[in-house]
Amino acid sequence: MIAHARKLAIAALAATSLATAAHSQAEQTVPDNPSVRNVVLVHGAFVDGSGWRGVYDDLTARGYRVSIVQNPLTSLQDDVAATTRVLDRQTGPAILVGHSWGGTVITEAGTHPKVAGLVYVAALAPDAGETTARQYEAYPAASEFAIDVTPDGFGVVRPDRFQSVFAADMDDADAAFLRDSQIPVNMAAFETRLTKAAWRTRPSWAIIPADDRAFGDGMLHGMARRIGATIVEVAGSHAAFITQAAAVADVIDGAARQISQPAKPAN
């Protein structure tokens, strides 16, 4: 409980610098009768759901009902099951959002009948029949990114590389806390083949941070183009879901509003 509280504290601290912007955006509330009022946020590898605090605060201020998945990071199946349990509790259609490895999770879980749209935040987007690992094959390696793997097959970002590759736009203290509170991910999950690809049947958006060093050159854009996503470039590092919370919330809000618009009658 103490460790979890500290994680919440760091996420809140990272969001503090965005408070003024979030306050002004709070006036841009959800329309009176939208079809999409729910947002489900899925974290990626090495972190937990508390990093979404800034996005959560922004969207709830606008009138959205926001739920946060806590992935166990033990397997793709376990993370999809955790996401599905949260989707089952939604009272109507939802925007499903995934960061990094969370993109793989929402790709598999996003065929859930309550998912109206997908938002990928610096995220992976495999196809059915593909593994997450395969996504890296056509692109240069992220030269600075390195993972330490334990004998039982769980990985964390190498501590001496963490800030530069994951959180370059966080201050030293916040990046150090995120580094030292990493949640190991079962590396075998990246070799698991997906059985579904929700982006084939759901509208998708892709948020691409300008200084993301966790992926090789062109990889995020290439994946986003392949799935036909609406691409939105933002400032920030791989930790943009924390450091650029207002910009991320704007994209999610825009996706919900667009999906909520009534269909135009055919001519």
pLDDT digits (tens, 9 = 90+) for 37-67: 999 999 999 999 999 999 999 999 999 999 9
| Reported confidence tier of residue 265, pLDDT bands at 50, 70, 90 | low
**Residue 24 lies inside a defined structural domain of this protein:** no
What's the CA gap between 115 and 218, in Å, rounded? 28
Residue 23 within any structural domain of the chain? no
Per the rule left: phi > 0, alpha: psi between -120 and 50, beta: everything else, 153 is: left
pTM > 0.85: yes
- pLDDT-derived band at 220 (thresholds 50, 70, 90) equals very high
- Residue 214 CA to residue 100 CA, distance in Å, equals 9
The pLDDT score that the predictor gives to residue 260 is: 92
Task: For residue range 147-179, list pLDDT tens digits in order.
Answer: 999 999 999 999 999 999 999 999 999 999 999
Q: Please say whether the beta carbons of 168 and 211 come within 8 A.
A: yes
Q: What's residue 128's pLDDT?
A: 98
User: C-alpha distances in angstroms, 230 versus 13, 92, 164, 233?
Assistant: 30, 23, 28, 10
Confidence of residue 231 (pLDDT cuts 50, 70, 90): very high
Radius of gyration of the chain (CA): 17
State the average pLDDT over residues 140-147.
94
Question: For residue 266, is it within any domain?
Answer: no
Quick check: is 28 in a domain?
no
Please report whether residue 212 resides in a domain: yes
- Is residue 35 domain-resident? no
d(CA 54, CA 260): 24
Helix (H), strand (E), coil (C) string for the chain: CHHHHHHHHHHHHHHHCCHHHHHHHCCCCCCCCCCCCEEEEECCCECCHHHHHHHHHHHHHHCCEEEEECCCCCCHHHHHHHHHHHHHCCCCCEEEEEECHHHHHHHHHCCCCCEEEEEEECCCCCCCCCECHHHHCCCCCCCCCCEEECCCCEEEECHHHHHHHHCCCCCHHHHHHHHHCCECEEHHHHHCECCCCHHHCCCEEEEEECCCCCCCCCHHHHHHHHCCCEEEEECCCCCHHHHCHHHHHHHHHHHHHHHHCCCCCCC
pLDDT recorded at residue 34: 66
Q: What is the pLDDT of residue 20?
A: 37
pLDDT of 173: 98
Q: Which domain holds residue 187?
A: 2-16+41-260
Q: For residue 7, what pLDDT is reported?
A: 42
With respect to residue 255, please indicate whether it lies within any of the assigned structural domains.
yes
Average pLDDT over residues 183-200: 98
For residue 1, name the pLDDT band (cuts at 50, 70, 90): very low
Give the C-alpha separation, 77 to 176, whole Å: 30
CATH number at residue 133: 3.40.50.1820
pLDDT of residue 91: 95
- Give the closest residue to 240 by CA, choosing from 205, 210, 204, 219: 210
Q: 2-36: per-residue pLDDT in tens?
A: 344 344 344 444 443 434 344 344 445 655 556 89
**pLDDT (tens digit, 9 = 90+) per residue, 85-138?**
999 999 999 999 999 999 999 999 999 999 999 999 999 999 999 999 999 998
Q: Measured between alpha carbons, how far is 148 from 4 in angstroms, rounded to an integer? A: 23
Query: Phi/psi of residue 208, each to 5°?
Result: -120, 110
* pLDDT at 12 (0 to 100): 40
Count of domains forming the chain: 1
